[in-house]
């Protein structure tokens, strides 16, 4: 066991863990952040996606010892002051889910994509979804949500609105 200080959603959190423990388990079971889901546990489905220094990462295959000082962002921190993040709002407006199990991972992957690519092409969105599994098959509506979020975030940026 070793002690780690993780920067999670803007707060330093101390935890004791084995170096090889996966970040998803730490988030869910040590820190109570259960929005990130366990799907495959092998880095293949995207249900556990969080951001590490703003980039999408699969927390089930991220060893806690490899995180270091990177800022961890989970779905719990996206809605600020009661307002949904534009990506969350777009998923809601596009009804881009059925059971919702994949949704937090899809939302985090989308936030990660749009941070570096505000104009995602159809291929960019397809690549995003290629590695993300929705067992309910809501892919067409997820594509719609990603494009809607991108459009709204571009408009907000051009008009100087928040986010």
Residue with Cβ nearer ligand FES (45 or 153): 45
102 touching ligand FES, by CB under 6 A: yes
How near is the Cβ of 46 to ligand FES at its closest, in Å? Answer: 5
How near is the Cβ of 37 to ligand FES at its closest, in Å? Answer: 7
44 touching ligand FES, by CB under 6 A: yes
Whole-angstrom Cα Rg for the chain: 16
8, 21, 26, 46: which one binds ligand FES (CB under 6 A): 46
CA torsion through residues 109, 112, 118, 119, sign: negative
40 touching ligand FES, by CB under 6 A: yes
Record the tokens describing residue 102, joined without a space. 């994949």
Residue with Cβ nearer ligand FES (17 or 91): 91
130-153 per-residue burial string, b: 16 or more CB within 10 A, e: under 16: eebbbeeebbebbbbbbebbbebb
How near is the Cβ of 47 to ligand FES at its closest, in Å? Answer: 5
Q: Please count the residues of this chain forming the interface with ligand FES, following the rule CB under 6 A.
A: 22
78, 112, 138, 146: which one binds ligand FES (CB under 6 A): 138
Cβ atoms of residues 8 and 74 within 8 Å? yes
DSSP states of 119-146 as a string?
S--HHHHHHHHHT---TT--HHHHHHHH
Q: Which residue has the tokens 């423990």?
A: 21
Interaction site with ligand FES (CB under 6 A): 38-41, 43-48, 58, 60, 97-102, 134-136, 138
């Amino acid at each position: 066991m070793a002690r780690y200080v993780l920067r999670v959603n803007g707060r330093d959190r101390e935890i004791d863990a084995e170096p090889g423990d996966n970040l998803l388990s730490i988030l869910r079971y040590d820190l109570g952040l259960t929005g990130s889901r366990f799907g495959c546990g092998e880095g293949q489905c995207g249900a556990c996606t969080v951001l590490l220094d703003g980039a999408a990462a699969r927390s089930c295959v991220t060893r806690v010892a490899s995180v270091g000082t990177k800022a961890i962002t989970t779905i719990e921190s996206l809605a600020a002051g009661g307002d949904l993040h534009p990506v969350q709002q777009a998923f809601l407006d596009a009804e881009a889910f059925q059971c919702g199990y994949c949704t937090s991972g899809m939302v985090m992957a989308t936030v990660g994509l749009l941070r570096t690519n505000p104009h995602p092409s159809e291929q960019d969105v397809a690549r995003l979804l290629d590695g993300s599994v929705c067992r309910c098959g809501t892919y067409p509506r997820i594509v719609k949500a990603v494009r809607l979020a991108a459009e709204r975030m571009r408009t907000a940026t051009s008009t100087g609105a928040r986010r």
